[in-house]
A and B are shown apart, each in its own frame.
Chain A
């Protein structure tokens, strides 16, 4: 049930159906402005720096990183969890809102899913590099091998992580691609260029929009949506068990799975917001992604921010309440005070306090406000992962093991590289794939007007 009178139209400006096709395909049909080439150039430079860092890492080994015997997981795992978190948005956004029948997802889900796919690919790079000998990465596949056959450890969260992320990536791509079928057909049938017709016709898989195609398409979307929703929750729970099963102060807690899942959705929604603020501004799509859409995301963010705040305080409270001196030390002497205060308080301020600005309508309605707060949340979520990974490892049970950790420029380079790849991927997405699910936007253009709604 969507009450148009209260919540406003989902697509503004009384558009006709062909106008919708035209306006959404506009970024693909026109040559992009200078900004696109500049942005793409910068991302490629960052990506090249990343490739250089990866080259050094692979050819010389992970000794070129700042990790050491105590802090065995450095920026790589921080960034891995950060990217995976961002990669949760697309599916969380698209699928949770699909199965909850929230029609306002239609103009945002495509971009969110694109973001997911690219972010998960960036994320997957880190554990692969962290193996050290990346050319032996295929050992992790459970296949009949000449080593016994020796199978992998199916009880290990690290293996669970591997299959969860591989499955998540492939399923996200499938779901994304399925959504694109009708839109590729639209491009195929509208375009006058022969090359485009051939390419989009090939990938459009002969879609005609017949009633049989549509009913199967819809039922497949719900099947994939329903089961992938389980996956969204399970992937980040599994990532959290990488930590939670480790007997390290600050990690060994049952709070971790929900805390990680909510955190992932938080950072993902923030990244969706960052992206949408920019997209609707640059491509002048404010009539499709209306102020009400942004408002809805902002409300979700402020709600999740409260959950995050609760999780942070629960952690600290339990550390004190448990009476465990190692937990007490980690939280009170190594996070709240001590060497890593910047990261801890950065996390609290960015994730729990700043998003509270979204209670104010003016902030929710101003693009600058939305952009700034969403960027701050992304920064805060990075601090959170740093806080979890580094502070716990740097000072554990034996003071003789205590060390500090600082990243080397190689580690920074790999991170910059993934940022570059992400940006480049998103920019290519703007040009070659419809930014919004055209057919879905068409289906909601009159929503709330008809009797059945």
Chain B
């Protein structure tokens, strides 16, 4: 079954935000919004949260333990060599390598997590509801599959009242996101 969407297009950030607010007041569920730049108010309104910082913390914890274990294994267990009379497990001088490799691991792992969670990778083609949303338009997308004609009509009027320059009607066979 095709999925039907109403796509409200706004030119102005304030009108766009107030439109999100009134759609929410009228209990329309917003599928997603598309903007040319991040707007923090939108994150609050749509209750968007990212758990990446937590994930990054655990990547870091893992990396610290893994790197120190690796250094201990190579320098103490596998092939101990005396450098300048220092102990095999010369912890203070392992710190530098540990810091750098931890930072490196956190970066790569966070990027991978971002890519996996958001479904973004080279060559990926996602559904773009309106091509102007990466340029200068603010776009609100509402899924109308569960709405009857009357409600859809209300939705369109509401967005137009709030200052949408256009309200498009589009159907997709499947959504890539």
Question: Which residues does A use to contact B, with CB under 8 Å?
Answer: 16-18, 21, 142, 148-151, 153-156, 159-160, 163-164, 167, 170-171, 174-175, 178, 181-182, 185-186, 188-190, 201-203, 205-220, 222-224, 227-228, 230-231, 234, 238, 439-440, 442-443, 452
Say whether, besides A167-B103, A220-B114, A223-B106, A209 and B134 are in contact (CB < 8 Å). Answer: yes
Least CB distance, A399 to chain B, in whole angstroms? 27
Inter-chain contacts of A218 with B (CB < 8 A): 38, 50
CB-contact partner of B32 in A160, A189, A207, A211, under 8 A: A211
| A/B interface sample: 13 pairs, CB < 8 A | A163-B97, A205-B123, A206-B126, A208-B133, A211-B32, A213-B118, A213-B120, A214-B38, A214-B39, A224-B110, A227-B107, A443-B39, A452-B40
Interface 9-residue window, one of B41-49, B143-151, B153-161: B41-49
CB-contact partner of B93 in A154, A171, A212, under 8 A: A154
* Contact between B94 and A154, CB atoms less than 8 A apart: yes
Question: Which residues does B use to contact A, with CB under 8 Å?
Answer: 32-43, 46, 48-50, 52-53, 56, 60, 71, 74-75, 78-79, 81, 83-84, 86, 90, 93-94, 96-97, 99-101, 103-104, 106-108, 110-111, 114-115, 117-129, 131-136, 176-177
Inter-chain contacts of B108 with A (CB < 8 A): 170, 174
* Contact between B107 and A215, CB atoms less than 8 A apart: no
A55 to B2, CA, bound (A): 62
Inter-chain contacts of A170 with B (CB < 8 A): 104, 107-108
Least CB distance, A449 to chain B, in whole angstroms? 11
Least CB distance, B96 to chain A, in whole angstroms? 5
* Contact between A442 and B118, CB atoms less than 8 A apart: no
Inter-chain contacts of B122 with A (CB < 8 A): 202-203, 205
Q: A154-B97, A190-B131 are in contact. List 4 more A-B contacts (CB 8 A).
A: A18-B135, A150-B79, A167-B101, A209-B134
Inter-chain contacts of B52 with A (CB < 8 A): 216, 219-220, 223
Least CB distance, A127 to chain B, in whole angstroms? 16
Least CB distance, A280 to chain B, in whole angstroms? 22
Inter-chain contacts of B37 with A (CB < 8 A): 182, 214, 439-440, 442-443
CB-contact partner of A186 in B42, B103, B134, under 8 A: B134
Inter-chain contacts of B104 with A (CB < 8 A): 163, 167, 170-171
